[in-house]
Amino acid sequence: MFKKILVANRGEIAVRILRACKEMGITSATIYSDADKTALHTRYADEVYYIGKAPATESYLRIAKIIEIAKRAKVDAIHPGYGFLAENTEFARECEKNNIIFIGPNSKAIELLGDKIASKKTMTKAGIPVIPGGEDEVKEGRDEEAIGIAQEIGFPVLIKAAGGGGGKGMRVVRDKSELAGAIKQARNEAKSAFGNPAVFIEKFLESPRHIEFQILADNYGNVIHLGERECSVQRRHQKLIEESPSPIMTDEMRKKMGNAAVQAVKVSNYTNAGTVEFMVDKDRNFYFLEMNTRLQVEHPVTELVTGIDIVKEQLKIASGEKLVLKQNDIELNGSAIECRISAEDPENNFVPSTGKITELIEPGGPGVRVESGIYEGFEVPIFYDPLIAKLLVWAPTRKEAISRMKRALHEYQIRGIKTSIQFHLLVMENTKFVDGNYNTTFIDKVVGKIEYRKKNHEVAAIAAVIGKTLKEHQTAVIKKKKSESSPWKMAARQSILRKN
C-alpha cells in the first residue's frame, strides 16, 4: 500500500479522499490556490502546497506544477479526484513518465475512452448497443456529408464534441437548415472547452433516461459492477440528483446492462474505478453513451446501497492489489438519493452565488450523509465549480428515502449565499419524481415551476406594497374622519352656530 499520496483537487472531493487516506494510515498531501488558503481540504491534509492564483487554469490544472510538487513532497501516487484533470491523458502520461502512480486508468485507456468517436467504434466491435449515428468526425467544409448522415438516421439529431462532456459542444438539431450552423457552434465550443474541435452526429433520443453502472477493475483482469445509478434529473446535461437503484430497473435489465458495462471495460483494457453510462429509451432499450474514466461526483450513492468504499478500492487497485470482491458478492440494499448542493440561485436561472457563509447548520440523524467542502465563515470563491456539498440519504425503501431527504433538506441551513436547497425540495415533492416517472426532460418542468413561483413572489411583493399603501391611506382617511367628528370639533361647530 502507498505511504504517501498527493490529492490534486479541492472542495468536497478532496476532503472525501483525504478522509480515506487517514483511515488507511496513508500520509496525505494536497494543493491550494490563493482563493483556497483557508479551504476545508487544507485542514484535513498532513501537508499542503501552494499551487498558484485562483483561476483553475492558473492553479489546479497546472500539470507541470503539480508534478513538481509531487516530486518535492516525495509521494508515491496522485489522486486527481474528478474534473478535467482526472480525465486528462497528458496528466496521466506525465505521472507515468515520472514514476508516480496515477490513481485511475492508464493514459492509453483514458485516450481511447475520452474520445467518444473511438470509444463508440470500440463498443460497436464488441457488440455493445450504441446510439445510431455517424462513425467518424464531421470534417469542416463537408456540410452535404453531414446532412446525408443526419437524413439517414432521421431528425432530430445531436451534434456532440468528441473529446469532452458536461453538455459543452452539444447541439440538438431538428431541421437540416439548422445543421451547418449548429455544427460550427458546437465545434467552436468544443475547441474552447477541450482544445479539440472534433464533433460527430448521432440520433437524438427524445425523453430518454440516463442510467450508469459503477465498475471496478484490477490489474489482473478482474472486473465487477456495483449496480446502477439513475441520473436523469439533469439541467443542460449536468446531473443534479442521483439515486440507486433506478426506479425502472428489473433484475433482468440490470443483468443485461451490467454485463454490457463489464464487457465495455474489458475491451478497453481499463483498470481502477470508472462509470459506464447508458441512455435508455421509452421502450427500455439501452445504448452505450460514454465511459467516465474517473471517480464520479455521485459515487457515494453506490457506496450507501452496497456498503463498499469506492475510494479505498481505488487506492488498493492502484497499489497493485487484486480485487477481493466477486460479482456474486454485490447486492443492492435499500435506496439511496443524492442532492448536489450548489452555490447557485435557482430563481435567477441558476446564476452562481459567491460570498461568505454566515451560518451553516448541516442535517444529521439516521441515514443522512453530508459530503462538504465548506464551513461557517468560509468565503465561496467565484473561480471554481459551484458544487459546495452533497447531501445523501439512505433508507430501506425509496419512499422512505424521499421522506428522509425532504426532512434533511428542511434541516439544511446555509446563509450568506444562495443555494439549490429549495430547488431540491421542489423535486422531492414533485409527483412524477415520487412515482419514479421521470426522464432527462423532467427538470425543465421543475425549473418552470420555480419561475412561476418567482413570478408569484414578485406579484405578492407588489401586492404587499399596494396593500400597505392602501392600508396607510385608509388609516389616514379614518383618522381624518375621526378628527372631523371629534367632541372638540363638534363643540366648536356648535359654538359657531350659536353665535350666528
- 326 by Cβ neighbours in 10 Å (0-12 / 13-18 / 19+) ranks as exposed
Q: Provide the phi-psi class of 94: left if phi over 0, else alpha when psi is between -120 and 50, else beta.
A: alpha
294 is catalytic: yes
Residues 6+ apart with CB under 8 A from 294: 80, 81, 82, 86, 87, 104, 273, 274
What CA–CA distances, in Å, run from 463 to 18, 293, 348, 449, 470? 52, 53, 21, 20, 10
Q: Measured in whole angstroms, how far is the alpha carbon of residue 142 from the centre of its chain? A: 35
Q: Measured in whole angstroms, how far is the alpha carbon of residue 68 from the centre of its chain? A: 30
3-state secondary structure of 424: helix
Q: Measured in whole angstroms, how far is the alpha carbon of residue 149 from the centre of its chain? A: 32
Beta-strand pair 77-79/4-7 = parallel
- 63 by Cβ neighbours in 10 Å (0-12 / 13-18 / 19+) ranks as middle
- The edge-to-edge listing of strands for the beta sheet with 47-52 is 47-52, 27-33, 4-7, 77-79, 101-102
Cα–Cα nearest to 365, from 332, 330, 391: 391
Integer Cα distance of 76 and 4 in angstroms = 6
Q: Is the peptide bond before 197 cis (omega within 30 degrees of 0)?
A: no
- 386 by Cβ neighbours in 10 Å (0-12 / 13-18 / 19+) ranks as buried
Residues in the chain: 500
Q: Of the residues 16, 294, 369, 398, which is catalytic? A: 294
Kindly report the number of other CB atoms within 10 A of residue 94's CB atom. 19
Catalytic positions: 294
